[in-house]
Amino acid sequence: MTLARAIEIVKADTIVAPPNGQVELSGCFAADLMSDVLAFARSGALLITGLTSDQTVRTAMIKHLPAVLIIEGKDVGVEMVEAAREQEIAVFRTPLSKFEACGLLMQAGLRAARRSGAYPA
């Protein structure tokens, strides 16, 4: 699924546009704990999170996640926007809850992008 299609499904608005136009997503990862993202996210995934901090975009950058979807129309601070521009991470915001956003994207066929395996190794 393309990033543009996913964004359309969850009726999100664009906070920071993707720098490279068309992006194909590897899947989706929903999390609020950045340690969870750092340990288990697959590269190329859309990150759905309720955490609106610059940590979110730095974590996305470290894990090669092209875009972050903020839920419930939460305020996105200027630090996060600046970090996103600097790290070239797209940021979107949906009015939906994380549950609804996951539900709609799964229904539309976007698969999970979580590395399997017990934790910790």
Partner 1 sequence: MDERSIGHFEFPILGRAYFLGGRASTSVKKALREAGVDDDTVQRVAVACYEAEMNVVLHARSGYVSVDVYPSRVDVAISDRGPGIADVTKAMTPGWSSASDEARALGFGAGMGLPNIKQQSDLMSLESEPGQGVVLRLTFYRGGGNGAGS
Partner 2 sequence: MAPDRDETTVRHMAEALGLTVLAGSACLDRPIHGALVSDLLSYVMASGRAGDVWITIQTHANTVAVAALASLAAIVVAAGFEPGDDTLSRAEEEEIPLLMSSQPAYVLAGRLFELGVR
Q: Which residues bind partner 2 (CB under 8 A)?
A: 28-33, 36, 40, 48, 50-51, 97-100, 102-107, 112, 114, 116, 118-119
Question: What would you report as the CA-atom Rg of the chain, rounded to the nearest whole angstrom?
Answer: 13
Q: Smallest distance, Å, CB 20 to partner 1? A: 17
We find the least distance from the C-beta atom of residue 103 to partner 2, in angstroms, to be 3
Interface with partner 1 (CB under 8 A), residue from 4, 17, 38, 108: 38
Stretch that binds partner 1, among 4-12, 55-63, 91-99, 102-110 (CB under 8 A): 55-63
Q: Is 19 in the site for partner 1 (CB under 8 A)?
A: no
Residues 75-94 that bind partner 1 (CB under 8 A): 79, 87
Distances from the Cα of 117 to the Cα of 47, 64, 65, angstroms: 19, 20, 20
